[in-house]
Amino acid sequence: MSKESKSIYNFDINLIHEYYSLIERQGPGSPEMTIRALSFIEGLSEYSKIADIGCGTGGQTMVLAKHIPGIVTGIDRSDRFIDLFNRNAGKANLQHRVKGIVGSMEDLPFQKEELDLIWSEGAIFCMGFERGLNEWYHFLKKGGFIAVTEATWFTEKRPAEIEDFWQAGYPEIDTIPNKLAQMQKAGYVPVAAFVLPENCWTEHFYAPQLAAQEEFLRTHAGNRMAEEYIAFERYEQALYVKYKAHYGYAFYIGKKI
């Protein structure tokens, strides 16, 4: 298989979870951008119910919970991530209102119109942006908010190498106007969209992975699958450096109407 046609889905999920357990966040983002996105959300109280879907080990959840009132439920399919999440909630002294549970974003354990806010950083792609917006809509109260980050093209035309990489991994990547149109169509009024700055990738996502890669390779010395997986991660990072003018992440914030 050529590198170009490889996607993360070719690798063992346990290896991926082990690797990402070594770092604080499992997707691009930063505390500053979580707080900026929060500035568009209104009407929360201590009775509000908030879900962080695809929460991982809770890097962004703890930032979120420190800046808003209400009960926060983190959901992730990885029990390994949820164990770390609940430990992190304890360390941050948030265990009384922040709880991680193992579950699927495709079958959420909430009632209809139960939630005041749905948060999801770097995770909605796992079921697809449009499908996620449509299905999660039912769990949100009228007037409730949704805030998600999503892979986004910044340019209309892209070099073939990066276009092929995303077509193999996540063909739903699209431009901001197209994503906003999908949000509107799903029943939300788009309240804001903004591009995540480069340091969300370099400083907060890729830099911490350097030491994690060394550690992971030491643990799995001689394991070809593990070596290939790290080579894939490094290739993805090199692509970002080369093509960051063409793509990145954006925050999309909508209000259910």
33 to 72: interface string for ligand SAH, x by CB under 6 A? ---------------------xxx--xx------------
Q: How far is the CB of 3 from ligand SAH (least distance, A)?
A: 22
As a dihedral over the C-alpha atoms of residue 229, residue 231, residue 236, residue 241, rounded to 10 degrees, the angle is 150
Which bin fits 43, alpha (ψ -120 to 50), beta or left (φ > 0)?
left
Compute how many other C-beta atoms are within 10 angstroms of the C-beta atom of residue 117. Answer: 23
- Which one, 60 or 209, has the nearer CB to ligand SAH? 60
The answer to whether residue 81 forms part of the interface with ligand SAH (CB under 6 A) is yes
Q: How far is the CB of 107 from ligand SAH (least distance, A)?
A: 8
The answer to whether residue 29 forms part of the interface with ligand SAH (CB under 6 A) is yes
**Range in contact with ligand SAH (rule: CB under 6 A) among 24-32, 134-142, 166-174, 221-229:** 24-32
Task: Write the DSSP assignment of 22-56 as a string of letters.
Answer: TSS-SSS--HHHHHHHHTT-----TT-EEEEET-T
Distance (Å, whole) CA 160 – CA 188: 34
- Which one, 51 or 158, has the nearer CB to ligand SAH? 51
Distance (Å, whole) CA 48 – CA 239: 40
Among 151, 3, 122, 147, residue whose Cα is nearest residue 57: 122
Distance (Å, whole) CA 27 – CA 252: 16
Q: How far is the CB of 137 from ligand SAH (least distance, A)?
A: 17
Q: Tell me the one-letter amino acid at 191.
A: V
The answer to whether residue 25 forms part of the interface with ligand SAH (CB under 6 A) is yes
**Kind plus residue range of the DSSP H or E element containing 194:** strand 188-195
Residues 126-185 that bind ligand SAH (CB under 6 A): 126
95 to 124: interface string for ligand SAH, x by CB under 6 A? ---------xxx--------------xxx-
Q: Which positions lie near ligand SAH, rule CB under 6 A?
A: 25-27, 29, 54-56, 59-60, 75-78, 81, 104-106, 121-123, 126
